A and B are shown apart, each in its own frame.
Chain A
Amino acid sequence: MKPSILLTAVAALALTSSFAYGGKLVIKGSDTLGAKLVPQLAEAFKAVNPDTSFEIAAEGSTTGIAAVIDGTAQVGMSSRHAKATEISAATAKGVDLKPVTVCYDGLAIVVHGQNPLKSLTKKQVEQIFAGDITDWSAVGGKPGKISIYTRNTSSGTYSDFKELAMKKRDYAGSSQKMAGNEQIAAEVGKNINGIGYVGLAYVNAEGVQVLPVDGALPSPESLRSGAYPYSRPTFYYTNGEPQGEAKAFVDFTLSPKGQAIVGQVGFVGLK
């Protein structure tokens, strides 16, 4: 049911139908990047370089970095920096992990479309997700027990949010772990008392509304200026400087054309 499975299937289909002599680029990692952005970049890239075929698997940042270390992918997508253990594992295998910043992603706080609440403060967000506040009335909303939806524990976003929004505290025991951004948006859209966080690409999901945090709504301007508190860079990891197909694809991503796609998908470009 993960979008990644579907993507892999689509990528596999694309592979079998593409020319046998084309170069093949294997990209693995973060669901945030791999669900929408990278497949679209790959399509645009293929329009220019029809000989290149792609295999894209989006199963989380950890898998992406591990795949680059093991040499099973040329490019690893990650929504977080490589951990110290990952860097040391790479060094031992003679792999030089090199990050390239792709774009910025903001985490938007979403609630049900009919939730009367119009804004939250950083402190309230922390208290809600950590379980200090369990009822909407405590933040000035309509009384009701808050239902918290988070990503699953091995997702990069799961720990990013703790770092960005919760002073590294742990989530409330009552939080429900969802497999992806889309699932969080779907559950929040169906639950009047729900709250969750999603990447910016998912804020237009049906039935949800984005709440401003400390008065700032997530937008390209507020993310770049730092006015919106929950933003993070996303990366491609490669073994040393990217080579061949990988280099062409990384360059394409950073080119104005690539960055335009970044903007269309809902992320915030570097400039």
Chain B
Amino acid sequence: MATPDRPVARAIRKEKRFRPLGLTADTAIRRFFQGNAAFAILALVLIMVFLLREGAGFFGQNSRGIRVYRLAGLEYVDILKAQLDRHAELTRAANALRLKIFSGALAKGTAPEAASASLAGFDAFAEALGDASEDVRSLASDLTEQAAAVKQREQIYQDSIEQKAMLIRAGKAGEAAAVPSVAVDFSSEVKALLASLPVYKDANRLFAKKLSAALGMVGPQSVPAAWIPQLSGLKAATERYAATFPAVEAKLAAWRYDAPVPWYRAVTAFLFGRQWLTASFWQDWYGILPLFFGSLLVSLIALLIAVPLGVVAAIYVSEVAGTGEKTWIKPAIEFIAAIPSVVLGFFGVAILGQSLRAVSETSWLSWVPGFPMSERLNAFTAGCLLAFMAIPTIFSLAEDALTNVPRHFKEASFALGATRLQTILRVLVPASLSGLISAILLGFGRVIGETMVVLLCAGNRIAIPDFTEGLGAFFQPVHTMTGIIAQEMGEVVPGSIHYRALFMVGIMLFLLALGINYVAQRVVQRYRISIG
């Protein structure tokens, strides 16, 4: 009998284990995986700490900014300016009305000269209306300069303090002492502003008198009969406006430069501020609402387009399509995700925007609100491209959700005699609803965080969309939270309030994305297989 070449005992004898750092192979591998997971979490924590550290200083700076706004009397002057702004609106309304009447007359075949001549009465009224504010306006412009100068001096004083601190830190105490630095005495500065109140009251009385004189210049005879209701509307608005004057005076009289600014003002001014106004010679405002609504509007448009397309495509691929079709439809849709967003943005600027506007200018589409588009780069252009980017996300997740519905659901439905359509709509979609909702939410997260496309194609107008135009708001240019960071971060001075405000916008985006993801996960966990 042949003996084996090696003794059995030797073949199965264990090699002496190599144990670096006293770890067995198993624990080493475990630690390796653990380490990788921990690294991701650590990076997340570091990012949050960084964002918070850079952004946290914002509220302090914003609060100081608002305090100086009050101390230097800018707030006082803004009460006046608000009154003048409302007057400017009235003038614009008058001009718009004149334009409508004028073009109406032209459309009826009246010669331009004759149409102008018939509006002479109205023109006299419009001119008198526009000029009525003259005295108040010139006063406001004087006060603007005064207050801006006070603010400027305060700014110089703050700079000098900063400069001293920097010099002292650099060990140049002698030079620091030589820096001139004069604190601003706000109470005496503001007294000069407040002393103008009697002058203002006189000017205001004159303003009101001129307004009523202007109103007397125009009557039903001044415009064609069809426009009389509009004219009386304008006159009524003017009367209502004149009636607000005593309230403005009372407000000015009650204003105190040293009234404390509540601590929450800096927060509410950011979260509910309707203006994002930077590099202003007057007063910077960092209100997130215009950007938030911009982001939301663009995302909404994107989802309105992407959700039906993505979900229906998912239903088709998972339930209806044959294997042959499946093998190319799925990769094709998922390939969309591989297109770089800057390429899509460039496509939007170069082609899509222009084409959409050309379409909007065709006459048979003029019933659509907002058409013809006045801007080729607007929320809708950006929304279309974002929809394209969200489709793969929504499609993949929705398809997974549909595939995860247990097979016996479908079989039971067929066994009961349901058609395929009934099965899809009554069984599969409800059963996978939680998955579909989370797919949509994650698509939303994808869209709201997208930057390049909105920066290039959304039109970058920093204003809350005018929702009074209804669906027309879809075709207005907007600016977004992501876009503003990309556009302004490169050029702000690090550490300035503008810089920190951009970080705060980043934090808001982060929280928003976190919230969306959290909700999406909860939906999946809580309502998994909601029927059955």
Contact = CB atoms under 8 A, between A and B. Distances in A.
B277 A170 contact: yes
A91 interface: yes
B493 A174 contact: no
Contact of A193 (B166, B170, B374): B374
A101 interface: no
Interface in B322-351: 342, 345-346
A47 interface: no
Given A135-B96, A137-B99, A177 B462 contact: yes
Given A138-B95, A176-B459, A62 B281 contact: no
A159 B282 CA distance: 12
A176 B163 contact: no
B488 A176 contact: no
B346 A88 contact: no
Nearest to A152: B487
A175 interface: yes
Contact of B456 (A1, A173, A177): A1
A92 B169 CA distance: 9
B92 interface: yes
A244 interface: no
B244 interface: no
A160 to B, nearest CB: 11
A5 to B, nearest CB: 10
Given A62-B492, A176-B461, A191-B376, A1 B345 contact: yes
A190 B361 CA distance: 14
Contacts of B160: 88
A174 B279 contact: no
Given A59-B491, A92-B166, A179-B487, A190 B354 contact: yes
Contacts of B345: 1
Nearest to A62: B491
Contact of A132 (B88, B156, B159, B281): B88
A158 B488 CA distance: 12
A135 B279 contact: no
A168 interface: yes
Contacts of A85: 159, 162, 493
Nearest to A89: B166
B460 interface: yes
Given A134-B92, A177-B462, A59 B490 contact: yes
Contact of B463 (A134, A173, A187): A173
Interface in B189-223: none
A167 B487 CA distance: 26
Contacts, number: 109
A253 to B, nearest CB: 24
Given A94-B170, A147-B374, A176-B461, A168 B491 contact: no
A84 B169 CA distance: 19
Contacts of A88: 159-160, 162-163, 166
Given A84-B156, A88-B162, A153 B377 contact: no
Interface string B52-90: 000000000000000000000000000000000000100
Contacts of B3: none
B519 interface: no
Contact of B461 (A62, A135, A174): A174
Interface string B434-459: 00000000000000000000001001
A238 interface: no
B305 interface: no
A63 interface: yes
A247 interface: no
Contacts of B377: 176, 187
Interface in B144-175: 148, 155-156, 159-160, 162-163, 166-167, 169-170
B488 A153 contact: yes
A137 B462 CA distance: 25
A154 interface: yes
A163 interface: yes
B77 to A, nearest CB: 13
Nearest to A154: B491
Interface in A40-67: 59-60, 62-63, 66
B477 A176 contact: yes
A174 B332 CA distance: 40
A176 B162 CA distance: 35
A173 B462 contact: yes
B282 A177 contact: no
A92 B164 CA distance: 8
A155 interface: yes
A178 interface: yes
6 contacts: A60-B491, A63-B491, A93-B170, A168-B148, A176-B460, A179-B487
Given A94-B170, A152-B487, A154-B490, 17 more contacts: A1-B346, A59-B491, A66-B493, A66-B494, A88-B163, A91-B166, A154-B278, A158-B279, A169-B281, A173-B275, A173-B463, A174-B463, A177-B461, A177-B487, A178-B460, A179-B487, A191-B375
State the 8 A-B residue pairs at the shortest beta-carbon distance, nearest first. Answer: A92-B166, A154-B491, A168-B281, A88-B163, A60-B491, A173-B463, A177-B460, A153-B278
